[in-house]
Amino acid sequence: MVHKTMNDLSIPIKRALVSVSDKTGVAEFARVLHAQGCEIISTGGTKKVLEENGLPVTDISAVTGNPEAFGGRMKTISFQIESALLFDREKDKQEAAALGIRSIDMVVCNLYPFEQVKNRGADFDTLIENIDIGGPTMVRAAAKNFKYVAIVTDPGDYEELAQELQQNNGALSYDTRFKLMRKAFNATADYDAMISETMDETAGKLSVRLAFGRAKELRYGENSHQSAWLLRRNGTNHSYFDVKVLHGKELSFNNMVDMYSALDSVRDLKQSGCAVIKHNNPCGLSEGAEQRRVFEQAWAGDPVSAFGSVIAFNRPVGKETVTFLHLDAENKMLRKFVEVIAAPAFEAAALEYLYQHKNLRVVEYDPAGLTPDLDYRFLHNALLVQTTDRKLKEKTEWVTERRAELDEALLDFGLIAVRQVKSNAICIVRRLPDGDHQLLGMGAGQPNRVNSTQLAIARARENLKNEFEGSPQELEEYIAQQMGRAALISDAFFPFPDNVELAVAAGLRVIVQPGGSIRDKSVIAKCNELGVAMMFTGTRHFKH
């Protein structure tokens, strides 16, 4: 159903009921109402604040005929108040007059701070006392009758409403009231959801009620014939919705998914990091001291796949870094095409350089803000929920006769990398002479681990071949040397020794896996036979 606007139906605000928990800006807003000739009805603490600011206030008991009672549990709930909000100003006019009901044209109300009290660790009895009853009743009554009543639930709206009241001789338009009504029903829905989730949580039961408000249309979905939207979850301080596009075309569904993976890939890196993402997998990942060098190393992880990729950094980006893209090269074949570059910030000179590419999306977002506790996946009227995968390892146990000198920083880098790769996932990582870490090769999304291992080895060999500068006769020796210094990281256990045999044939001598297979002993025996060092971490990192 499409709602039709009715801009000509403005109503003057002659009586307003003001009862708020969050008193930010309420005195200033009430002063505007008073200046427009509006009578202000109020309760308890709100009434006190308004009077302290020199505003005349009608006590709510003068309307209800009853005092506030039961420690404030009864203040606004009454036949007189709800009738003043709910009666139809046209059909019910005579009945309201006969009952002595005077209309209330505006309610300014925000609810008891249940969520804030919960977050402070309040006990159960305190939580119960912070469940608002009268507030939601007034809010819903006013919202239902928005044709005649304005309902204000957000202090952030005071300034805009004050301007409209001053410009419109104390009246508010129908469209404004309609917008306020929608906001009010969302507020009470979110409030009730928070309470119900908390009560279930208290009982040891999981219940999830997700509400999303603001939406923006994306360029298109996974394919150009699909439509797509991004919605912001209500009641959150930080949201991926808040990515700031500084330049370039609108973002698509795939851009948003790949950019999230890119930002998540660099989020936990300790040094300056860069991720190159293609189809939701890191085809390049590196960290180190110098951002430009790190970018080059990440790109070298798979230069072919990096074409049309999404790139993220975990540090502000300087011009020296982005000139690696050669966007101003006269020979267009030297220009590196990417879809998105995201970072916490960009230096002005870096932005000026990137703006040369009119379609390149330059996005400002700090990956440090990606700290979700839960991971959701919606599957046809069913919701899968799990805690997010943030634990890298349970232990570092060498289970073979041979031990290796595996730098813990490189180990963590490898685990961060394999955690981002679609299962079955194999990553080959190395420490470079300057101390930087690089994803040398990866295999992703294969139905068996052997295929993933083969892909990771092939990619690593190709990268080593590309970087080698010696004679062709020395190439295999160089590859064997570099592979011997690298580590193979698996997201899950090896079910058979075949992966060990592949790794050894490729020159690898260090393997890291979580362990836990019923065939662990045979896998370890094969490692001992072939002189391989194998570490168990005790933590699996499937990503489907």
Task: Name the residues annotated as catalytic.
Answer: 144, 279
DSSP letter (8 states) at residue 344: S
DSSP 506-519: TT--EEEE----TT
Cα(333)–Cα(222) distance, integer angstroms: 28
Q: 297 with 286: CB under 8 angstroms?
A: yes
Structure tokens at 237: 């301080």
* CA 327 to the chain's CA centroid: 31
Q: Which residues pair with 107 in a beta bridge?
A: 17, 151
Question: CA dihedral defined by 11, 12, 15, 16, rounded to 10 degrees?
Answer: 70
Contacts of 471 (CB under 8 A, 6+ apart): none
DSSP letter (8 states) at residue 385: E
By DSSP bridging, strand 272-278 and strand 309-313 are antiparallel
Please choose, from the candidates 503, 410, 416, 380, the residue with its C-alpha nearest in 3D space to the C-alpha of residue 452.
503
Exposure of 171 in the CB half-sphere (CA atoms within 13 A): 13
Question: CA dihedral defined by 191, 195, 200, 201, rounded to 10 degrees?
Answer: 100
Placement of tokens 């507020």 in the chain: 187
Three-class secondary structure of residue 140 per DSSP: helix
Q: What are phi and psi of 87, to 5 degrees?
A: -70, 140
Q: 284 with 306: CB under 8 angstroms?
A: yes
Cα(454)–Cα(481) distance, integer angstroms: 19
Angle, CA of 233, 239 and 242, to the nearest 5°? 110
Structure tokens at 355: 């703006």
Within 10 angstroms of residue 25's Cβ, the number of other Cβ atoms is 15
